[in-house]
């Protein structure tokens, strides 16, 4: 029987009317229609594609009960078609008409390919879709956006409902894969909140992260974060999503193709299209949206992990305990939270202790803890106490691990309370293409790079503070170095720095570009240039060394290729020549002993004396005992085992007795009891205890067992400044060993024990902790003056400087 020619002609006409060329031409008209902007344009493009698919389905004879259906996923599934988004379609079939499958598929795909429309397509049966959902976490997330367009509606709905039910059932098992895929994406695209040219779709804090939260909410693994829920339409997260979607839409339109990165050359036009003044205002809006989204996705993923629960034998383990981290700060369930006894309204330094504990232990701050601190924490008293400044420096010395805690504090307004100057540089985009980051993130990146250099300079605390503030004058008009110098001086005084240190900090900011400019424009080896640099910096060798380290950190934080071997050679050489011209270091001198302690030493016996220190939680502990080998390590070990952190120390001898004075601060609780410390020291001296071995065992016990951590993995490498040791010139038989190392619990006890093991007699020592860096000088008397013996001793000391935790 012959086919009806009229029906065939009508079908051909219908197919011609739904050609891909017609669709592409119509899309171009819509994209360039000035009357359509924002959501109206996205709706028009979405309707255009939906109508085309429906008409094409009718022309191909794909209707109800046909055994074929077309389902949209991706942007079309969410009705968010922007500019040149891929057209994501699935042809669903029920295997009843395999002879028609190729014909129907080709009838949809080829017109789109021929017209140059980007197409992401697949052909699935319902069992196929279920298998993909179970095997591929990324594909499963995409299928959750599926929406019926044309054909057999019952078949399409069966696939959609089946996939979503399977996701709800198995999302708990798939969560590790989902998190791993998200982290891989973040490593590739970076954070949109801080990038000069952010990827608003795939970057960390972008559109795909909110879609991820929707998927977790669908599986009931997080709170109701889904953007399309009626109750969340006006939420900050929904507003962030709408802004990023609008920016992506304009980026596509302006580029004339699919482009998810906001390029600097397009930013002003995008800004005008979304209704803001210029590219700098746009950058701040994007940064704020990225911060909002990143904060939400961090909280959502932690909530999801906690909701997953434990399976198998792990269900028999006890619930996680509250492990103390600092005064008023504990770990619970892989997060940093407040101790039950903590009262934020009475403890201004609690905010910094929480942030420092978060960075130091690589754990996120609990969301409710942040809210409580933001609501009740009082302003910091000015000037800050020594403990508060120390906690800030510990935070800054944590390298890239500090970025998360600082961002968390900033999102709830706590960072801005401590540093009001931060508001001007927050989300401020760079004004040249060489910078990768926004100004505020560039400052954080510079601090992170500087943390690896803290053992190369005499004042690691000022290096970290200078890195934090070196560009603080940007965004205010005028020379940011001059403006920033005045701001840095003000900040330094607020932090409680000595006036001389505040002035050095100010000069660091004022001259942080000096070395860059000299090596770029002048001969850095010319003695006249060296003399000019020395005069400009006031013949201050410490300032010169700080600027050299800051130049390196600043360059590394600017962007790839800014710091290279050529620049390193020039700046390092210039610094060395300027320091040599100014003059070397002064020789350290043994500490003085106060009269009261001289009397006790002459009286003989074992004594422990305490008095209040300069800060509210500081205590000065003096231990006096008959001198003997290994005494310093035992005294320092007793203090460490008693929960006392030594911030500085002086070691001396008189009348055959060691007179060792330590400035300590308790990790928890009140000041130490002198009588109790004396009993513990006596027990150690009697040989009943080995404090160094006990410290090592205590550290090992703190290490989490494999698989016990429930926090989100950190996709960065921890930065640790390498320890450095050098022998200084000394008179007579004395040998002066200077050691710079990241501070750690029991560090002084371990170093002293190693020196004693090597046969060194510690005649005197001065110990100082500047933030998170120990700068110690030991006067050691060795049994030989062989240089090789010295090198063996310094190597052994360096080997024990690795952190115990």
436 and 561 housed in the same domain:
yes
CA distances from 371 to 147, 325, 338 (A): 38, 20, 12
In a domain, 704, yes or no: no
According to the model, what pLDDT value does residue 676 have? 93
Q: How far apart are CA 408 and CA 692, in angstroms?
A: 37
680 and 607 housed in the same domain:
yes
In a domain, 183, yes or no: no
Q: Is 415 exposed, middle or buried (0-12, 13-18, 19+ CB in 10 A)?
A: buried
Which residue in the block uniquely carries the two structure tokens 């609501």? 375
Task: Tell me phi and psi for residue 84, to 5 degrees.
Answer: -115, 40
| Residue 744 C-alpha from the chain's centroid | 21
CA distances from 662 to 644, 669, 780 (A): 10, 18, 19
Which CATH number do you get for residue 19? Answer: 3.30.460.10
Q: How far apart are CA 403 and CA 449, in angstroms?
A: 12
Cβ density class 526-549: b for 16+ within 10 Å, e for less: eeebbeebbeebeebbbbbbbbbb
Coil, helix or strand at residue 765: strand
Answer for the pair 332, 342: CB distance below 8 angstroms, yes or no: no
749 and 662 housed in the same domain:
yes
Which CATH number do you get for residue 457? Answer: 1.10.3210
331 and 402 housed in the same domain:
yes
CA 687-689-693 angle, to 5 degrees, is: 125
Coil, helix or strand at residue 671: coil
Q: How far apart are CA 307 and CA 216, in angstroms?
A: 11
Give every strand in the sheet of 119-125, ordered side by side: 119-125, 87-93, 68-72, 147-151
In a domain, 695, yes or no: no
Coil, helix or strand at residue 440: helix
Coil, helix or strand at residue 656: coil
- DSSP string for residues in 711-748: SPPP-SPPP-PPPEEEEEP-STT-EEEEEEEE--TTHH
Answer for the pair 193, 276: CB distance below 8 angstroms, yes or no: no
724 DSSP β-pair partners: 740
Q: What's the number of CA atoms in the CB half-sphere (13 Å) around residue 781?
A: 8
Which CATH number do you get for residue 279? Answer: 1.20.120
664 and 755 housed in the same domain:
yes
Answer for the pair 642, 662: CB distance below 8 angstroms, yes or no: no
In a domain, 696, yes or no: no
Q: Return the HEC string of 339-392.
A: CCCCCHHHCCCHHHHHHHHHHHHCCCECHHHHHHHHHHCCCCCCCCCHHHHHHH
According to the model, what pLDDT value does residue 114 have? 87
> 172, 201, 228: which is the final residue of a domain?
172
261 and 199 housed in the same domain:
yes
According to the model, what pLDDT value does residue 697 have? 82
Sign of CA dihedral 280, 284, 289, 295: positive
According to the model, what pLDDT value does residue 281 have? 87
Closest-CA residue to 141 (of 133, 129, 151): 133
Cβ density class 236-253: b for 16+ within 10 Å, e for less: ebbebbebbbbbbbbbbb
Coil, helix or strand at residue 288: helix
Which residue in the block uniquely carries the two structure tokens 């798939």? 174
254 and 399 housed in the same domain:
no
- 644-654 and 761-770 as β-strands: parallel, antiparallel, unpaired? antiparallel
Which two structure tokens, joined as six digits, stand for 681? 């020291």
Which two structure tokens, joined as six digits, stand for 257? 């193709």
Answer for the pair 726, 778: CB distance below 8 angstroms, yes or no: no
230 DSSP β-pair partners: none
> 277, 310, 343: which is the final residue of a domain?
310
- 619-626 and 735-742 as β-strands: parallel, antiparallel, unpaired? unpaired
Which two structure tokens, joined as six digits, stand for 528? 């006249």
Model's pTM, two decimal places? 0.78
> 123, 143, 172: which is the final residue of a domain?
172
Q: How far apart are CA 396 and CA 454, in angstroms?
A: 11
- 644-654 and 619-626 as β-strands: parallel, antiparallel, unpaired? unpaired
Cβ density class 157-176: b for 16+ within 10 Å, e for less: ebbbebbbebbeeebbebbe
Compute how many other C-beta atoms are within 10 angstroms of the C-beta atom of residue 309: 9
User: Is residue 383 reached through a cis peptide bond, with omega within 30 degrees of 0 on the bond before it?
Assistant: yes
According to the model, what pLDDT value does residue 701 have? 64
In a domain, 279, yes or no: yes
In a domain, 127, yes or no: yes
Closest-CA residue to 622 (of 651, 660, 594): 660
Residues whose CB is less than 8 angstroms from the CB of residue 346 and which lie 6 or more positions away in sequence, other chains included = 378
In a domain, 711, yes or no: no
Compute how many other C-beta atoms are within 10 angstroms of the C-beta atom of residue 703: 10
- DSSP string for residues in 677-720: HHHHHHHHHTTS--HHHHHHHHHHHHSPPTT---SPPP-SPPP-
Q: Which long-range contacts (CB under 8 A, 24 or more apart) does 758-761 make?
A: 758/782, 758/792, 758/793, 758/796, 759/783, 760/735, 760/793, 761/629
Which two structure tokens, joined as six digits, stand for 63? 């209707």
522 and 379 housed in the same domain:
no
Coil, helix or strand at residue 299: helix
Helices (H), 470-564: 480-495, 499-510, 514-521, 527-536, 541-558
761 and 633 housed in the same domain:
yes
21 and 132 housed in the same domain:
yes
239 and 348 housed in the same domain:
no
Low-confidence ranges of the chain (pLDDT < 50): 1-2, 224-231, 310-317, 704-716
Q: How far apart are CA 737 and CA 777, in angstroms?
A: 6
Which residue in the block uniquely carries the two structure tokens 């004004």? 431
Q: Which domain does 529 fall in, by range?
A: 429-584
Q: How far apart are CA 485 and CA 472, in angstroms?
A: 9
Task: Tell me phi and psi for residue 34, to 5 degrees.
Answer: -65, -20
In a domain, 45, yes or no: yes
Answer for the pair 739, 776: CB distance below 8 angstroms, yes or no: yes
Cβ density class 772-792: b for 16+ within 10 Å, e for less: bbbbbbbbbebeeeeeebbee
Number of domains in the chain: 5
Q: How far apart are CA 310 and CA 306, in angstroms?
A: 9
Q: How far apart are CA 671 and CA 649, in angstroms?
A: 17
233 and 151 housed in the same domain:
no
Compute how many other C-beta atoms are within 10 angstroms of the C-beta atom of residue 95: 11
Residues whose CB is less than 8 angstroms from the CB of residue 170 and which lie 6 or more positions away in sequence, other chains included = 133, 134
Residues whose CB is less than 8 angstroms from the CB of residue 71 and which lie 6 or more positions away in sequence, other chains included = 77, 89, 90, 92, 146, 147, 148, 149, 156, 159, 160
């Amino acid at each position: 029987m012959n086919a009806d020619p009229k029906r065939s002609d009508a079908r051909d006409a219908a197919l011609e009317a739904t050609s891909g060329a017609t669709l592409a031409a119509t899309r171009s008209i819509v994209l360039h229609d000035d009357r359509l902007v924002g959501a109206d344009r996205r709706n028009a493009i979405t309707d255009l594609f939906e109508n085309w698919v429906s008409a094409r389905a009718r022309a191909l004879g794909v209707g109800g009960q046909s055994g074929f259906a077309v389902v949209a996923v991706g942007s079309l599934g969410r009705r968010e078609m922007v500019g040149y988004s891929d057209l994501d379609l699935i042809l669903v079939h029920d295997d009843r008409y395999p002879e028609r499958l190729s014909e129907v598929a080709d009838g949809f795909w080829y017109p789109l390919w021929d017209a140059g429309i980007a197409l992401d397509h697949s052909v699935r049966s319902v069992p196929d879709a279920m298998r993909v959902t179970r095997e591929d976490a990324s594909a499963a997330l995409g299928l959750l956006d599926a929406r019926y367009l044309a054909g057999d509606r019952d078949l399409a709905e069966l696939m959609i409902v089946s996939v979503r039910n399977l996701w709800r059932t198995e999302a708990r098992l798939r969560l590790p894969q989902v998190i791993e895929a998200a982290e891989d994406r973040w490593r590739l695209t970076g954070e949109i909140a801080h990038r000069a040219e952010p990827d608003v779709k795939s970057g960390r804090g972008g559109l795909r992260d909110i879609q991820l939260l929707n998927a977790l909410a669908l599986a009931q693994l997080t709170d109701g974060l889904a953007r399309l829920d009626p109750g969340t339409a006006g939420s900050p997260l929904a507003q962030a999503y709408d802004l990023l979607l609008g920016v992506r839409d304009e980026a596509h339109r302006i580029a004339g193709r699919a482009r998810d990165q906001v390029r600097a050359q397009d930013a002003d036009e995008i800004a005008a299209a979304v209704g803001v003044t210029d590219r700098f205002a746009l950058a701040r809006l994007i940064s704020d949206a990225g911060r909002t989204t990143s904060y939400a996705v961090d909280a959502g993923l932690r909530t999801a992990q906690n909701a997953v629960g434990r399976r198998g034998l792990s269900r028999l383990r006890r619930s996680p305990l509250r492990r103390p981290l600092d005064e008023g700060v504990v770990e619970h369930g892989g997060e940093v939270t407040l101790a039950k006894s903590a009262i934020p309204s009475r403890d201004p330094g609690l905010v910094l202790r929480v942030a420092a504990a978060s960075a130091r232990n690589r754990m996120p701050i609990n969301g409710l803890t942040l809210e409580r601190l933001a609501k009740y924490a009082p302003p910091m008293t000015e000037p800050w106490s020594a403990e508060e400044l120390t906690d800030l420096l510990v935070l800054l010395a944590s390298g890239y691990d500090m970025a998360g805690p600082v961002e968390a504090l900033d999102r709830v307004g706590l960072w801005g309370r401590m540093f009001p100057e931060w508001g001007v540089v927050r989300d401020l985009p760079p004004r040249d293409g060489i910078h990768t980051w926004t100004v505020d993130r560039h400052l954080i990146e510079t601090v992170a790079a500087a943390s690896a250099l803290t053992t190369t300079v005499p004042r690691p605390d000022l290096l970290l503070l200078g890195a934090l503030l070196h560009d603080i004058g940007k965004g205010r008009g005028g020379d940011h170095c001059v403006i920033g110098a005045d701001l840095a001086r003000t900040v330094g005084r607020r932090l409680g720095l000595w006036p001389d240190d505040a002035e050095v900090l100010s000069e660091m900011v004022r001259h942080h570009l000096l070395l860059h400019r000299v090596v770029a424009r002048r001969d850095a080896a010319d003695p006249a240039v060296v003399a000019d640099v020395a005069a400009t910096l006031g013949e201050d060798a410490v300032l010169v060394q700080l600027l050299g380290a800051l130049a390196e950190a600043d360059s590394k934080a600017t962007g790839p290729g800014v710091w290279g071997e050529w620049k390193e050679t020039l700046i390092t050489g210039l610094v060395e020549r300027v320091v040599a011209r100014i003059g070397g270091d002064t020789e350290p001198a043994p500490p003085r002993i106060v009269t009261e302690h001289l009397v006790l030493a002459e009286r003989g016996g074992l004594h422990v004396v305490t008095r209040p220190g300069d800060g509210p939680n500081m205590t000065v502990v003096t231990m006096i005992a008959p001198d003997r080998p290994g005494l310093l390590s035992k005294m320092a070990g007793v203090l460490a085992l008693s929960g006392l952190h030594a911030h500085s120390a002086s070691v001396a001898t008189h009348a055959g007795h060691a007179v060792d004075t330590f400035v300590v601060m308790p990790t928890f609780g009140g000041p130490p009891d002198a009588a109790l410390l004396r009993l513990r020291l006596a027990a150690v001296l009697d040989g009943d205890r080995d404090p160094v071995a006990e410290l090592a065992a205590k550290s090992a016990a703190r290490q989490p067992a494999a698989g016990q951590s429930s926090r989100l993995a950190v996709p960065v490498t921890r930065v640790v400044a390498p320890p450095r040791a050098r022998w200084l010139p000394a008179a007579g038989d004395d040998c002066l060993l200077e050691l710079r190392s990241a501070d750690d619990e029991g560090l002084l006890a371990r170093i002293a024990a190693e020196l004693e093991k090597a046969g060194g007699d510690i005649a005197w020592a001065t110990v100082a902790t500047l933030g998170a860096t120990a700068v110690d000088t030991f006067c050691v008397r060795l049994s030989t003056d062989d240089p090789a013996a010295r090198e063996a001793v310094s190597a052994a000391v360096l080997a024990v400087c690795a952190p115990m935790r």
